[in-house]
Structure 1
């Protein structure tokens, strides 16, 4: 098993945990400080929720593809997924409100879609190569 892919999977899991903790942190801060805007909590929840939609799928898919043996494609895909998920979350958290757009959010989302389709395609190819 390629250690880079495992490292990327671990980073995705830790990143998901960090986004979860951020939601708790903002909730706690809002309870004690009425000046913290609702938008801060909304951003934290949306960034976490979006990660919850994609990270588990990528973790499972990357580990599945990696089970077929070393592949530069899978390593590149894993690195791209980590970069795209971080960019997307940063783009959501850096703006004052979720209704505002940030270039990182767009790039991260577009990259996530590309990685998702690439991973799905690779899974289909691996299925055919295994002798379906």
Structure 2
């Protein structure tokens, strides 16, 4: 099994599941456009989880794919796995708590991990470019 492609698939799966959740939620809550700004509103949480995933997942998928095209140091493999896990953790940190207006360890770790491991993957791309 190719871990790089599996992580790309998992990121896309997260994006699709959250998109379906928002679509179903719009019907369920009879809200075709927008959402309540209330941090406890279910649709608001679903929309935020989906939109944040839509901001990060496509770029991560592209970077992971590019890195998959040539041999990489083992740390890159770990960063790919960890950044994927962090995206799931971040989404859970938005969806599971009662409200989004309080600090949440899942959301914090997911965001920090996305930044840290994403920057690491960025460095791996630069390293690959320098060696090409």
TM above 0.5? yes
8 Å Cα contact 1:16/1:52 also seen in 2: yes
Match of 1:43 in 2: 45
CA distance in 1, matches of 2:44, 2:4: 32
- Scaled by the length of structure 2, the TM-score of the pair is 0.87
Gaps of 5+ in 2: none
Match of 1:102 in 2: 104
Match of 1:27 in 2: 26
CA distance in 1, matches of 2:111, 2:72: 27
CA distance in 2, matches of 1:24, 1:71: 40
Match of 1:116 in 2: 118
Let me know the Cα RMSD of the aligned residues. Answer: 1.8
- Scaled by the length of structure 1, the TM-score of the pair is 0.87
Deviation at 1:73, TM superposition (A): 2.6
Secondary structure of the corresponding residue to residue 46 of structure 2: helix
Specify which structure has the higher proportion of helix: 1
Residues 1:127 and 2:108 are matched in the alignment = no
CA distance in 2, matches of 1:70, 1:119: 11
Aligned positions, number: 125
CA distance in 1, matches of 2:97, 2:80: 27
* Correspondences of 1:19-98 after superposition (within 5 Å): 19-31=18-30, 39-69=41-71, 71-98=73-100
8 Å Cα contact 1:90/1:104 also seen in 2: yes
